Structure 1
Amino acid sequence: MQEPTILWADDEIDLLKPHILFLKDKGYNIKTVTNGSDALDAFKAEHFDIIFLDENMPGLTGLETLVEIKNIKPDIPVVLITKSEEEYLMEDAIGSKIDDYLIKPVNPKQILLTIKKILDKKGLVHGKTASAYQQEFRNLLMTLNDNLSYEEWADVYKKLIFWEIELQGLEDPGMHEILTQQKAEANAQFSKFVEKNYIKWLNNPDIAPVQSHQLMKQKVFPLIDSTPTFFLLIDNLRYDQWKIISPIISEYFRIETEESYYSILPTATQYARNAIFAGLLPTEMEKRFPGKWQNDEDEGGKNLHEEAFLEDQLKRLRKNYKFSYTKVVNYDQGKDLVDNIHTMANNQLNVIVYNFVDMLSHARTEMEIIRELASDEKAYRSLTLSWFENSPLLEALKKIAQKKVRLIITTDHGTIRVKTPSKVIGDRNTNTNLRYKQGKNLAFEPKEVLHIKNPQDAFLPRQHMSQSFIFAKEDEYFIYPNNYNQFVNYYNNTFQHGGISLEEMIIPFVVLSTK
C-alpha cells in the first residue's frame, strides 16, 4: 500500500523538523514549503492525500491558499494551523470547508491524531460497521426463526434498512451479499406471516396492526386540535427513502414520533390510497360510492375522488374540520403548493398528496437513463434524495416550518425491486400490474403466490363468479408465457408494487413539529 503523502506549508517549517521526522517514522511521506504560492505550485504538480496550511504566511495567507486549493479540488482534506483563536478566523475557515483546525503550538502526536482522524476514519468506521453488522446478523438470524408479531416484523424491517444504509458505503461485496440474502430470507418468512394472518386482520381489528383504511381514524384525527396539521402523503415512499430524506427535514422540524403502519392488499395506489382517505376497505367503497369507485377492469382514472372520500369520512366520524386537499403531480403544481402554504395554515387539516416517487419507480421501468441512474437500492435512494433536495416539496416544507403547525409524513405503499419471474395465464381482462392479478380462471404456480379464491374474504370487489386475486410474494413478478424472455429482460430489477413484501407493506408514519 502506498504511503500517504502530506503537503505542509508553514513559513517556520524549519522549527517543525521534529514533527516531520516523527511523521516519517510513522510511515507518512512529507513535502514541505514555506509559503502559499509554493504550496499551490506543489499542489498542482503532485498528488497529496492531505494538506496542512499555516494561516499566517507571507504573501498568500493560509485562508487565501485554502480557497485556491478548494477551487481546484474541493474534496482534498485541508487542516488550518494558526496562532490566533479569533472567532471570525475560525468561522472563515469553517466556511471555506476545512477538515480540521489546530492552534499553535502543536505537538507531533496531535498532528498524528488529526491525520488518522481524516485519512484513516473511513477505514476505521467501515471496520467497526462491518463488525457490528456481523454481530447483528446472528441476532437477526435467530429472530427470524421466532414466531414474530406484526410489531416485531416492523422492527426487523427497520433494522435491515438501518444496516443496508450503514453498509452502503462499504466496498465489501461479501458483506452486501450477506445482507441481501438475509433480507430475502426475511421477506420469505414475512410472506408466510402475511399469508397466515392477513384475512384474520381484516375481520378482527383487535388483533391487527393499523392498516390503510384505519390510518386517518386511529393515527391522524386524534392528533388534530387547535394546532393546524399538514398531512403529507408522498406516494410510494419506502421506509429507506424516508430515512435518506429525514436528516434534511430534521433541519426544519423536530421528529416527535417515527412509527409504521401496514398497507392493505393490493399494495397499489387505487386500493391503498383510496382506503386511507375513505376510511373503508375496497368492497365497502364499491358499495358506498358506486359512481366513484373504479375496479381494475373499469375505464378511467382510479384515484380521482380522494377529496370526496376524505370529506365523506370526516362527515361519518362527525369531524367538522376546516380542511384542504391538494394533489401535486408535476413541477408547476409543486410551485403552486409553495405559493399557497400561507393560506393553508388557516385550516385545521391540510392534506397534500405528492406524486413524484411513484413516477420515479415507473420511469425507472420505462426509461433507460433512469434505469442507469437508479441501478440498485443505493442508487434508487440517492436519486430520491437528489430529487427531494431540488424539489418544490422541500421549498414548501421550509415555508410550513415557519408556521406553528404539526406535520405528518407518510405514504400509501412501498415498492420492491423484483428479480424472480413467475408465470401466470389470464384472459384479456386480467389487470396489468406485475405484483398482483385479478381475473377469471387464472393459471399460476400455487407455491409462488397468495391466492385469494373468494375476493370478498379480503374485502376485494368480485366482478365475476370465477374471479380471484393472486399476489406475488418476496421479489417475484408475474410474466405471461407469450414473449416470456423479452418481458423478463425488460422488467427484471425494476421497482414494482402491489404484492407482499416488507418494502411494500410496512409504511413509515412520522409526526413532526416545527422547531
Structure 2
Amino acid sequence: MNQINILWVDDEIESLKSQIMFLEAKGYKVSALTNGYDALDFLRENTVDVVLLDESMPGITGLETVARIKEIDQQIPIVMITKNEEENVMDEAIGSQISDYLIKPVNPNQVLLSLKKIIDNKRLVAEKTTTAYQQEFRSLFMALNDNPDHNQWMDIYKKLVYWEMEMGKSNSPEMLEILQSQKQEANSEFVKFIGRHYADWMTPKTKDAPIMSHTLFREKVLPYLDPNIPNFFILIDNLRYDQWKAIQPIFMESFRIVEEDTFYSILPTSTQYARNAIFAGQLPVDIEARFPEQWRNDDEDGGKNLFEDLFFAQQLKHLKKDIRFSYTKITNHNDGQHMVNNIHNMLEYPLNLIVYNFVDMLSHARTEMEVLKELAGDEVSYRSITASWFEHSPLHQALKKLADKKINLIIATDHGSVRVKNAVKVIGDKQTTTNLRYKHGRNLNYEPKEVLAFRDPREAGLPRPNVNSSYIFAKGDNYLCYPNNFNYFANYYRNTFQHGGVSMEEMIVPVIRMVSK
C-alpha cells in the first residue's frame, strides 16, 4: 500500500508531537501546520489523503478553512477536531461535509480509527466480504444440491443477490468470477426445478404452489389494504430483485418497510402475460376465455396491455370486494409530471393503482441505443442506472409529496430480466413470434436441451393461438435467434437485458409493503 499523507492543522501542534509520532510509527506521513492560511497554501502545492483540522484557531476558524479547502479539492476527507461540544457547531461541521468529528482531548487510537474508517474502509470491507463469501460458498453449494422447494429457491436467489452486491464493494475479480459461476450453476438447477414443477403450479387444486402473478393481488395486496387510509399499489415494470435493493435506500428516506418479499412471475416473463395476470387475477388462458375481445396474442394487432383497469375491476367483482380505485399508467415523462401534479387527488381514493413503465423502456432501449449499451453494460451498471433514474424520476417526486401523509404503500413488479450471453438457433414459420426469450408457433424446430417446451400451451396456463401452437422458453442466459443473419443478431443482442424466459432474475421478483414514517 502506498504511504498515506496526512495534514494535521492545529494552533497547539507542539502538544500533539506524541500523537504524530504514533501515526508515523503506523506508516503514515504527517505534515503539521498551525493555522488555516498555511494549510490552504500547502494544499495548493501538495497532495494530501486526509486533513485533521482543529475547529478553533486564530486567523480563520476551522469551519472557514473547511469551506476554502473544498474550493481547492471537493473530495478531500476532513476530520474536524474540537473542544466545542455545542450541537450547533457539530451540525455546521457535518453540514460542511466533513468525514468525521472528534472531541478533544483525543487519544492516538481515536485518530487512528478515524483514519482507518476513511482510508482503509474499502480495503477492510473488501477483505471481510471476500472471507465471508468464502465461508458462505459451501452452504450455498449444499443448498443447491438439497432439492430446494420454491421458498428455498427464493432464499437462495436473495443470498446470491446479496453477495453479488457485496462483492461490488471489494476489488476481487477472482471471487466475483467464482460467485458468477455459482450463480450460473444455480440458474441451471433452477431451470430444471421449473421444468419439473411449473405445470403442476398451473393446476388450481395444487396446494404447494408459490404466490404467482395471478395470485399476487389476492395473497399479497388485498389482505393488507387498510380501510381507514389511502392505499397505493405501484407496479414498476421489469424490476429485478437486485434493482429493488439498489433503490431501497431511497424509499427508506420517507417510508418504513413492513415486509419485503418475493413472488414468482408466470411464463412468459413478459408484460403482456405477467402483468395482465396480476390485474386480472387469472392465468392468460382464462383471461382469453373471459375477455376474448380484449385479449391479444403476440401475433395479433393491437395493444397487449390496454385493459388492465377493466381486468382489475372484474377481479374485485370476482373477489366480492367493493373498493373504489384510481388507475394511472405512466409511459413517458409528461405522464409522470401529470401524476406528480395530481397525486394529492389520489388521496381521495381507498386504492390507487399506478403502473410505471420506465425500467422496461430502459431494457428495450438498451438494445437500440449505443449510449445505453455503454451505460448499462453489466449488472452493476444496470442497478446504478436504475437507482439514478428513480432518484430523479416523477415517481420519486410524487412519493415525496405523500411522505408526510398517512398511507399504505405496496411496490411490486410484473417480471425481471436477465443478461443474455448464449445465442441458440430456432427455426419457425412466418407466424412465429419475435421475442428473444420465448416463442410460440406451429412448426418450431429447436434443440430440446436448450429450451423449456410446452407442446400443449394449456399445461402452462397459456392460450393456444392455433391448433398446433407450442411454446418454448429460453433457459438461463440463452436467447433465441433465427438462422437468417444468425451471427449479426447474436452479436447485436449479446449482453443485453431481455425477458420472457426462465431464470431466477426473471421469475423471482420483489413485492414490498411500506407505511409512511
Same fold (TM over 0.5): yes
Q: Percent identity?
A: 58
Quote the Cα distance in structure 2 between the aligned partners of 1:360 and 1:380.
Answer: 9
Q: Which residue of 1 aligns with 2:209?
A: 208
1:464 Cα deviation from its structure 2 partner: 1.8
Out of 342, 347, 351, the residue aligned to residue 349 of structure 1 is 351
Q: How many residues align?
A: 515
Spell out, residue by residue over 1:227-255, the C-alpha distance to the aligned partner (whole angstroms, 9 max, x if none): 32100000000000101111110111111
Q: Which residue of 1 aligns with 2:396?
A: 394
1:472 Cα deviation from its structure 2 partner: 0.4
Q: Which residue of 1 aligns with 2:76?
A: 76
1:106 Cα deviation from its structure 2 partner: 2.2
Out of 238, 242, 249, the residue aligned to residue 247 of structure 1 is 249
Quote the Cα distance in structure 2 between the aligned partners of 1:2 and 1:507.
Answer: 44
Q: Which residue of 1 aligns with 2:439?
A: 437
Q: Which residue of 1 aligns with 2:122?
A: 122
Give the 3-state SS of the residue equivalent to 2:90 in structure 1: helix
Give the 3-state SS of the residue equivalent to 1:274 in structure 2: helix
Deviates more, 1:343-352 or 1:11-20: 11-20
Q: Which residue of 1 aligns with 2:425?
A: 423
Q: Which amino acid aligns with 1:336?
A: H
1:76 Cα deviation from its structure 2 partner: 1.4
Deviates more, 1:108-117 or 1:410-419: 108-117
Unaligned runs of 5+ in 2: none
Deviates more, 1:311-320 or 1:497-506: 311-320
Quote the Cα distance in structure 2 between the aligned partners of 1:130 and 1:354.
Answer: 37
Contact 2:125–2:170 (CA<8 Å) still a contact in 1? no
Q: Which residue of 1 aligns with 2:182?
A: 182
Give the 3-state SS of the residue equivalent to 2:197 in structure 1: helix
Q: Which residue of 1 aligns with 2:374?
A: 372
Quote the Cα distance in structure 2 between the aligned partners of 1:11 and 1:111.
Answer: 17
Quote the Cα distance in structure 2 between the aligned partners of 1:467 and 1:110.
Answer: 71
- 1:285-296 correspondence to structure 2 within 5 Å: 285-296=287-298
1:73 Cα deviation from its structure 2 partner: 2.2
Q: Which residue of 1 aligns with 2:199?
A: 199
Give the 3-state SS of the residue equivalent to 1:207 in structure 2: coil
Q: Which residue of 1 aligns with 2:3?
A: 3
Give the 3-state SS of the residue equivalent to 2:349 in structure 1: coil
1:111 Cα deviation from its structure 2 partner: 2.0
Q: Which residue of 2 aligns with 1:172?
A: 172
Q: Which amino acid aligns with 1:348?
A: P
Q: Which residue of 2 aligns with 1:112?
A: 112
Spell out, residue by residue over 1:435-482, the C-alpha distance to the aligned partner (whole angstroms, 9 max, x if none): 000001101110011110011121211122221000001000001111
Q: Which amino acid aligns with 2:48?
A: F
Spell out, residue by residue over 1:190-228, the C-alpha distance to the aligned partner (whole angstroms, 9 max, x if none): 000000000001114411001111111222122223332
Deviates more, 1:71-80 or 1:295-304: 71-80
1:107 Cα deviation from its structure 2 partner: 2.5
Provide the alpha-carbon RMSD of the alignment. Answer: 1.1
1:105 Cα deviation from its structure 2 partner: 2.2
- TM-score (structure 1 length as normaliser): 0.98
Q: Which residue of 1 aligns with 2:58?
A: 58
Give the 3-state SS of the residue equivalent to 1:290 in structure 2: coil
Spell out, residue by residue over 1:236-287, the C-alpha distance to the aligned partner (whole angstroms, 9 max, x if none): 0000010111111011111111111111100000000001111111111111
Q: Which residue of 2 aligns with 1:217?
A: 218
Q: Which amino acid aligns with 1:57?
A: M
Contact 2:122–2:169 (CA<8 Å) still a contact in 1? no
Quote the Cα distance in structure 1 between the aligned partners of 2:435 and 2:376.
Answer: 21
1:72 Cα deviation from its structure 2 partner: 2.9
Give 4+ residue runs of structure 1 displaced > 3 Å after superposition: none
Q: Which amino acid aligns with 2:116?
A: K
Quote the Cα distance in structure 2 between the aligned partners of 1:279 and 1:68.
Answer: 61
Q: Which residue of 1 aligns with 2:15?
A: 15
Q: Which residue of 2 aligns with 1:234?
A: 236
1:109 Cα deviation from its structure 2 partner: 2.7
- TM-score (structure 2 length as normaliser): 0.98
Quote the Cα distance in structure 2 between the aligned partners of 1:109 and 1:353.
Answer: 53
1:403 Cα deviation from its structure 2 partner: 1.8
Structure 1 residue 470 corresponds to structure 2 residue 472: yes
Give the 3-state SS of the residue equivalent to 2:309 in structure 1: helix
Spell out, residue by residue over 1:100-143, the C-alpha distance to the aligned partner (whole angstroms, 9 max, x if none): 11222222232222222221222111111111111111110111
Q: Which residue of 2 aligns with 1:145?
A: 145
Give the 3-state SS of the residue equivalent to 2:207 in structure 1: helix
Q: Which amino acid aligns with 1:13?
A: I
Q: Which residue of 2 aligns with 1:500?
A: 502
Quote the Cα distance in structure 1 between the aligned partners of 2:215 and 2:404.
Answer: 30
Spell out, residue by residue over 1:481-513, the C-alpha distance to the aligned partner (whole angstroms, 9 max, x if none): 111111111000000000000000011111111
Quote the Cα distance in structure 1 between the aligned partners of 2:98 and 2:195.
Answer: 55
Q: Which residue of 1 aligns with 2:305?
A: 303
Quote the Cα distance in structure 1 between the aligned partners of 2:21 and 2:350.
Answer: 69
Out of 452, 471, 478, the residue aligned to residue 450 of structure 1 is 452
Out of 331, 334, 342, the residue aligned to residue 332 of structure 1 is 334
Quote the Cα distance in structure 1 between the aligned partners of 2:482 and 2:240.
Answer: 28
